[in-house]
Amino acid sequence: MNRVSVPILAVLGPAEASAAEIEVAERLGAMAARAGWIVLTGGGPGVMEAASRGAVEGGGTTVGILPTAVPTENYPNLWVRIPIFTGAGNARNAFNVLSATLCVAVGGGPGTLSEIALALKNGKDVWCWRSWTIQPPPGSHPTVPRVFDDPEDLYQALASHFS
C-alpha cells in the first residue's frame, strides 16, 4: 500500500552547477510544482537551489533535507519552504532518495552518485541528465537509471509521468 498522498520529485545534483544544469533543474522544479508534486532537494546552492526556485515560482512546495543541524550560509537556500535539519552530513542523501517518488539527477559529483546508487538499491526510479551513467557487471541484471541526452526528451518524459 502506497501511503504517500502527494508525490515527491527529488532533484539531485551539485552545489556547483553549470548554467545549463541550473536551467534544467529550474524547469524540472516548475514542471513538478505545476503538476502538484512536492520538490525535494538537499536544500543547498546550485542544482538544489534552482529546482527549489522553479518549484516556488511554479506555485509549489519545496522540502530541503539539510546536512546541517542549524542554518548556515548556504543551507537552506532561500527557496526551501520546509527545511529539515538533519546534522547528518552526507548521510542525509539516504533521506533524500528514500522520501522520493521519482529521483532526477542533473549533473553531479560523488554526492549525486551516492544518491543514485542508494535510490537504485532501494528500488526507486532514477532518471539522469548530464549525470553519472552506471553499467552493471556482466551477468547481473539490476535496475539502471534512465539516461537522457537531450533535456527536451527529459521534459517530455516528465510531463508524461506527471499526467
pLDDT in tens, 8-21: 999 999 999 999 99
Q: Tell me, what CATH number does 55's domain have?
A: 3.40.50.450
Give the three-class secondary structure for 33. helix
What is the rounded average pLDDT for all residues in the chain?
Answer: 95
In a domain, 1, yes or no: no
- pLDDT tens per residue across span 138-161: 888 778 899 999 999 999 999 999
Does 92 map to a domain?
yes
How far is it, in rounded angstroms, from Cα 55 to Cα 57? 5
Q: Is residue 2 part of a domain?
A: no
Report if residue 83 sits inside a domain: yes
Query: Does any domain span residue 60?
Result: yes
Quick: pLDDT tens for 94-143: 999 999 999 999 999 999 999 999 999 999 999 999 999 888 888 887 78
For 70, the domain range is 8-162
Beta-sheet pairing, 102-106 with 146-148: unpaired
Question: Looking at residues 78-87, what average pLDDT do you find?
Answer: 98
Q: Look at the chain and report how many structural domains it folds into.
A: 1
